[in-house]
Chain A
Amino acid sequence: MRYYLIENENEYIIDLTKTEILSSDLVEFEFSTLKKNELINKKTVFVRKLAGQYFASFDQQCWNKIPRQNMPRKMIYVDKVIDLYRGYKPSGLAASGEGDLNTQMPGKVVKILAKTGDQVSKGQTLLILEAMKMENEMRSNIDGVIKEIHVKEGQALEQGVLMIEIAPLKK
């Protein structure tokens, strides 16, 4: 099971890869942290209960009390406010899409509002496509730079045609 720690632009995935109940008062867990799919660290943690409190140890020798008892939605870490999700990252927290703009339906290119080399921002309208008697605004779904425009104004297009390629801005 995975936990997501999201703090502004930083997203960490904490992967709980092993849960083993060793006895009635001892559990073993194995955690690893991933950032951008790269493993940052990995550790085995043992938990036992003593006098109504929970204690954790990395080596079953030295035990420290665990103060946090319930899963918080938001965690404060020094000066950071971290969103914490258990088991899944909810939909609607949109993942950034690729930069390519394809036609989703047949239509005609009415107007192109950008040119190659332009820096564009997420949500900016780049092209107007007339389809189904509607003027559809095709918007960029990332911040980036226009790499190439493959279509012309007045051109009739089928579905699934690559219209504009956008290269993401390097952070």
Chain B
Amino acid sequence: MTKRILIANRGEIASRIAKAINELEFVAIGFWTESESQARHLEFCNEWIKLVGVTHAETYLNIEQIVRLAKEHKVDAVHPGYGFLSENADFAEALNKAGIIFIGPHSDAIRVMGDKATSKMLAKKAGIPVVPGSSKAVESVEEAIRIAEEIKYPVLLKAVAGGGGRGMRACLNEQEIKDQFAALQRESMAAFGNGDLLVEKLIINPRHIEVQILADKNGNIYHFFERECSIQRRHQKIIEEAPSPFIGDDEELRQKICSTAVDLAKVVKYDSAGTVEFIMAEDKSFYFLEMNTRIQVEHPITEEITGIDLIVCMIQSAIGGDLHIPNQEFIKRSGHAIECRICAEDPLTMLPAPGKVYGFETSFPQGTRFDNCLYRGLEVTPDFDPMVGKLVTKGINRYVAVRKMRAALKGLFIEGLKTNISLHQVIMENENFKNGSYSTNFIIVENPQAKINTEIDFLKFYKELAGIEARNIGL
């Protein structure tokens, strides 16, 4: 039976989802707005619906309009992608009330896992290791100090409602807690509307490791191994890889962390795609951080090492189709995959740099995948996030994957935008990255921006000008 599936998102993920829908031979329905009337993802959609409005609140975050349009166009299911309303329980419920399937987990799972405090409590109750610290908001400086003594310094003062790296202060001793407590309370109140603070153990040189989960509506929960996303800046991921080089060949540890993730998913009766994020210390002890109840940006690397299309499975899981996965043992991993997020930003300052794409050409080695929304004439505006594509390479081992990524970066030509391609190239040459020995402070410690060569390469210009002139002559 052909299903009509609406994609409540834009950019490269909308293209990705549309391709999956096309594969299933369903009808793909895409949104467009006045400010993005030439969006590339519509190329892969069969039907196009206009979202009225200017701001995100009026368009992609507008539950009322989206549900109404979905009903009007007799949509069977909605895929929210990532960001926007993908982790909004109200949206899921509104769709369900309208008789439309929400391609994601049930709304209780979204609610519970969406709140850092409740998810942590739930994990703890389930016997899953969490970062030692207060389980609920700390009332006073004294209580904070008492907890800190228990879990041992250094500790992290963290806002309950914070996220994306904001609302956190490291404290190395009692005095620092005394100094920072009140200030952070005020700050969090102003920024997030909630001044509640937690006290947590601060992990030194942590590694960010997450496990991909996929479940169906029949209680089967599978894991698709782990990913490592430790190359980040201000908690924005830059490079991800699968499997984790830190875990390496330690199959026991891998099995442990993956089954832990599955256990947590079982607790909330998870029934879709999701990711359980952990933080791993240098001594290989790991602690639950949070769970993302949606498909993630970096899912392609997991697809590469397992060979299983996660988006198709996610859709099948939601509508009750056949995942073609008999059991966990069927899911095997092979090789190594790396993903570099290509963003329209200044490679030195990492600030967004909107612009217009004048040229786009690719010349990749075998085993490269580039999920993108680029085309000649695309205007990258400051309204949307600056990521224009995800460059993924897969090799039989990590060394080969890094080698292919170097070649792929050289073969990626985007003209008219400042991009962070040169930053990625420097990171691929970095010794510590090549060894796989890095943690989440890689960018700060290694400072790869400093090694980017900004001197004009005139020989390269000569070649380009020669090409232009040759073309004009009519060669």
Chain A residues packing against B (C-beta within 8 Å): 3, 5, 12, 14, 16, 19, 21, 25, 27, 29, 31, 33, 40-41, 43, 45-49, 54, 56, 58, 64-72, 74-82
Contact = CB atoms under 8 A, between A and B. Distances in A.
B interface majority secondary structure: mixed
A3 B454 contact: no
B453 interface: yes
7 contacts: A16-B469, A27-B466, A43-B458, A54-B475, A70-B468, A76-B416, A78-B347
A21 to B, nearest CB: 7
B468 A43 contact: no
Contact of B465 (A14, A48, A58, A76): A14
B467 A54 contact: yes
Give the residue among B348, B349, B355, B469 with the most A Cβ atoms within 10 A: B469
A56 B467 contact: yes
Interface in B301-328: none
Nearest to A45: B466
Contact of B348 (A3, A65, A79): A79
B48 interface: no
A153 B235 CA distance: 66
Nearest to A28: B466
A169 to B, nearest CB: 26
B399 interface: no
A31 B417 contact: no
A123 B170 CA distance: 52
Interface of B: 346-349, 355, 358-359, 361, 363, 413, 415-418, 422, 452-454, 456, 458-459, 461-471, 473, 475
A86 B361 CA distance: 23
A127 B448 CA distance: 53
B475 A25 contact: yes
Given A14-B461, A76-B417, A76-B418, A68 B453 contact: no
Given A12-B456, A14-B462, A47 B422 contact: no
Contacts of B416: 72, 74, 76
5 shortest A-B CB distances, which residue pairs? A66-B467, A56-B463, A47-B470, A67-B413, A45-B466
A66 B464 contact: yes
A81 B419 CA distance: 12
A12 B458 CA distance: 10
Given A29-B470, A31-B462, A56-B463, 19 more contacts: A5-B461, A12-B458, A16-B465, A29-B466, A31-B465, A43-B462, A47-B466, A48-B475, A49-B475, A56-B466, A65-B363, A67-B464, A68-B415, A69-B468, A70-B468, A72-B359, A72-B416, A78-B418, A79-B346
Nearest to B464: A68
A43 B458 CA distance: 10
Contacts of A27: 466, 469-470, 473, 475
A75 B473 CA distance: 22
Contact of B466 (A66, A71, A74): A66
Contacts of B415: 67-68, 72, 75-76
A92 to B, nearest CB: 24
A46 B466 CA distance: 8
A64 B463 contact: yes
Nearest to A19: B469
Contacts of A67: 359, 361, 363, 413, 415, 464
B346 to A, nearest CB: 5
Contact of B456 (A25, A46, A74, A77): A77
Contacts of A40: 458
Nearest to B419: A76
Nearest to A33: B458
A130 B457 CA distance: 53
A66 B466 CA distance: 9
Nearest to B468: A71
B359 A69 contact: yes
A72 to B, nearest CB: 6
A76 B456 CA distance: 11
Contacts of A3: 465
B351 to A, nearest CB: 10
Contacts of A74: 416
